[in-house]
């Protein structure tokens, strides 16, 4: 989409009236970091929003800055914070919350919540998205481009394999059984079509957290100062992932690229993929075959981590800039806009009210897969997020890659990852 890459979709963003009270805003210029490489459809969407917001709020100038991937954007935002001129607002991973608090780079939103309308707005976001947005009784991030992981399947290939094209796998056992039927080999035994594919580059921990959730295991505590990488359910989840490729040979071996997974699906190199709902518009635009979208298969339970980006407000901005940024964030997450953003990108609209708009109701009737990620929120868990988040996540990613490439057994890989995370997090307890 970014995670999570957005591709495809053109905007028809309605220009909208200013929010109540915006006439009182002092004039301010807001710089706004957004995590995407320059160019492409998503920058046009954001530019359109910026222009519409400025029309509705003439005293505020909004300057979007396209800062690259999420990883590049957090580095740029923190560097700018340390040098004294950070962007007034940024969309950064929801999981960056503890890092941003530790760096004293952001302010909580609670200070801007003054009216009944403000309170109603803040209470309107899906609770699943707020798990990575609140800590210590305060709200530090506002959900914007959020997602869960879903299963996409090629209905034609299901039919060819003698499977019901309308029925995705419901359990891990079925997922394996279907993948075995969907894997094709040529006369010399080389695979021409894989049954399933779970990408392991880019965001391996995120895809892995879907498996650990389904194994009913947690990766961290809510305070973000302890991880559970070596627990039995976590090891069981990793073993299942390894076995798909190394034992059952229904999944590509080694590291599977995040970025090329949708393309492999379009080219029929694979029949089922696990990826972000943020790829929904991409798949709809580029799959030349009927496809399905489903919640991920369950094991001990259903589930997926949430993912994606939140809005944050810089601590070093002036009060007038902070207030203007708050106004913009409230404006862009209003139900009609949140609905249109979801339609244009595939991200999950962040509030129940967005799904009750006429535009969204019509979209879901015409394209039912759009409701899958929202429905899965009932089973979603907070995405892996801790203090020193990037280092602690890297410890897990390194362990996963060692196990998936066969250099370490699952148990050892997770024990080593836990020891490293423990070393990093100990000072925070």
Residues 26 and 107 grouped into a single domain: yes
Beta bridge partners of 273: 152, 197
Among the ranges given (37-41, 168-172, 391-395), the one the predictor scored with the smallest mean pLDDT: 37-41
Give domain status of residue 141, yes or no: yes
- Assigned token pair, 350: 């962040």
| Residue 234: closest CA among 406, 388, 412, 429 | 412
Q: Is 143 part of any domain?
A: yes
What percent of the chain has a predicted confidence (pLDDT) above 90?
88
Question: What's the confidence (pLDDT) of residue 38?
Answer: 58
Mean pLDDT of the chain: 92
CB atoms within 10 A of CB 188: 5
Residue 17 lies in a domain: no
Tokens (6 digits) for 202: 């880019």
- Report helix, strand or coil for 155: helix
Domain assignment present for residue 315? The answer is yes
Q: In this model, does residue 25 exceed pLDDT 70?
A: no
User: Do residues 298 and 398 both lie within one domain?
Assistant: yes
Supply the pLDDT for residue 5: 39
CATH label of the domain that carries residue 161: 3.40.190.10
- DSSP letters along 172-217, please? HHHHHHHHHHH-EE-TTS-EEEEEEE---SSSHHHHHHHHHHHTT-
Q: 143 pairs with which residues across the strands? A: 310
**Residue 71: predicted pLDDT:** 87
- The pLDDT value recorded for residue 278 is 87
Give the 3-state DSSP-derived string for 242-292, with helices as H, strands as E and coil as C: HHHHHCCCCCCCCCCCCCCHHHHHHCCCEEEEEEEHHHHHHHHHHCCCCEE
| Residue 133 and residue 156 share a domain | no
Of 275, 285, 272, 409, nearest to 343 by C-alpha is 285
| Alpha carbons 348 and 276: distance in angstroms, whole number | 10
* 50/73 Cα distance (integer angstroms): 19
**Higher local confidence (pLDDT), 175 or 3:** 175
pLDDT reading at 12 higher than 90: no
Given a cut of 70, whether residue 389 has pLDDT beyond it is yes
1 band by pLDDT with thresholds 50, 70 and 90: very low
Q: Is residue 159 part of a domain?
A: yes
Is 129's pLDDT higher than 90?
Answer: yes
Is residue 167 within 8 A of residue 151, CB to CB? The reply is no
Residues 93, 308 contacting (CB under 8 angstroms):
yes
Q: Which of 167, 228, 225 is nearest to 419 (CA)?
A: 228
Q: What is the mean pLDDT of residues 66-89?
A: 94
pLDDT at 15 over 70: no
In a domain, 129, yes or no: yes
Residue 39 has pLDDT above 80, yes or no: no
Same domain? For 370 and 394 the reply is no
Q: Mean of the pLDDT values across residues 379-399?
A: 96
Indicate the number of domains in the chain: 2
Residue 6, classed as helix, strand or coil, is coil
Length of the chain in terms of residues written: 429
| Residue 14 confidence (pLDDT) above 60 | no
Shortest CA distance to 273 belongs to which of 409, 154, 359? 154
With tokens 């070393």, the residue in question is: 423
| Residue 66 shares a structural domain with residue 117 | yes
**Phi and psi angles of residue 388, each rounded to the nearest 5 degrees, phi first:** 50, 45
- What's the mean pLDDT in 323-344? 97
CA distance 310 to 419: 30
Is residue 6 assigned to a domain? no
Distances (CA, A) of 251 to 17, 170, 246: 50, 18, 8
Same domain, 200 and 250: yes
267 and 136 in a single domain? The answer is: no
Place of tokens 């244009």: 344
Q: What is the pTM of this model?
A: 0.88
Is residue 261 domain-shared with residue 166, that is, in the same domain? yes
Of the candidates 151, 405, 154, which has an alpha carbon nearest to the alpha carbon of residue 270?
154
Together in a domain, 112 and 184: no
Residue 7 lies in a domain: no
Continuous segment of H or E residues that includes residue 164: none
pLDDT for residue 226 is more than 50:
yes
Do residues 322 and 418 both lie within one domain? no
Q: What is the pLDDT of residues 228-263, one digit of tens each?
A: 999 999 999 999 999 999 999 999 999 999 989 999
Same domain (yes/no): 269, 370 = no
Q: Which domain holds residue 413?
A: 148-305+385-428
DSSP string across 90-136: EEEEGGGHHHHHHTT-B--GGGG--SHHHHHHHHTB-HHHHTTTEET
Q: 145 forms bridges with which residues in the sheet? A: 309
- Angstrom distance (rounded) from CA 137 to CA 139: 7
The pLDDT confidence band at residue 41, using thresholds 50, 70 and 90, is confident
pLDDT value at 302 more than 90: yes
Q: If you average pLDDT over residues 326-340, what whole number do you get? A: 97
Whether 24 shows a pLDDT value over 70: the answer reads no
What pLDDT, on a 0 to 100 scale, did the predictor assign at position 27? 83
For residues 205-228, average pLDDT: 97
**Could you give the percent of the chain with pLDDT greater than 70?**
93
Specify whether 208 is located in the same domain as 319. Answer: no
């Amino acid at each position: 989409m970014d995670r999570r890459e957005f591709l495809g979709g053109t905007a028809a963003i309605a220009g909208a009236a200013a929010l109540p009270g915006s006439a009182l805003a002092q004039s301010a210029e807001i710089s706004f970091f957004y995590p995407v490489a320059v160019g492409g459809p998503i920058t046009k969407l954001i530019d359109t929003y910026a222009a519409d917001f400025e029309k509705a709020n003439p005293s505020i100038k909004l300057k979007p800055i396209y800062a690259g991937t999420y990883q590049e954007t957090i580095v740029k935002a923190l560097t700018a914070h340390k040098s004294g001129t950070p962007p007034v607002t940024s969309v950064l991973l929801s999981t960056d919350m503890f890092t941003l608090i530790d760096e004293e780079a952001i302010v909580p939103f609670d200070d801007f919540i003054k009216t009944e309308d403000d309170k109603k707005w803040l209470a309107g976001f899906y609770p699943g998205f707020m798990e990575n947005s609140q800590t210590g009784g305060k709200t530090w991030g506002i959900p914007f481009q959020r997602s869960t992981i879903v299963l996409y399947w090629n209905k034609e290939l299901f039919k060819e394999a003698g499977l019901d094209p309308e029925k995705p796998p419901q359990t891990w056992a079925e997922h394996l059984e279907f993948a075995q039927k969907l894997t094709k080999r040529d006369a010399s035994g080389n695979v021409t079509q894989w049954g399933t594919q779970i990408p392991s580059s880019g965001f391996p921990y995120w895809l892995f957290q879907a498996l650990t959730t389904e194994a009913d295991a947690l990766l961290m505590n809510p305070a973000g100062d302890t991880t559970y990488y070596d627990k039995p359910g976590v090891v069981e989840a990793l073993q299942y992932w390894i076995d798909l490729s190394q034992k059952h040979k229904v999944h590509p071996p080694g590291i599977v690229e995040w970025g090329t997974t949708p393309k492999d699906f379009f080219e029929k190199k694979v029949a089922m993929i696990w990826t972000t709902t943020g790829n929904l518009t991409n798949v709809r635009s580029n799959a030349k075959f009927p496809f399905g979208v489903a919640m991920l298969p369950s094991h001990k339970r259903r589930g997926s981590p949430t993912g994606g980006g939140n809005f944050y407000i810089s601590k070093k901005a002036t009060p007038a800039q902070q207030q203007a940024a708050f106004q913009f964030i409230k404006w862009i997450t209003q139900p009609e806009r949140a609905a249109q953003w979801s339609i244009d990108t595939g991200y999950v609209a962040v509030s129940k009210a967005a799904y009750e708009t006429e535009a969204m109701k019509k979209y879901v009737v015409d394209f039912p897969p759009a409701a899958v990620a929202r429905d899965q929120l009932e089973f979603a868990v907070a995405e892996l997020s801790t203090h020193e988040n990037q280092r602690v996540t890297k410890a897990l990613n390194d362990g996963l890659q060692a196990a998936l490439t066969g250099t370490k057994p699952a148990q050892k890989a997770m024990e080593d990852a836990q020891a490293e995370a423990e070393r990093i997090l100990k000072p925070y307890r």
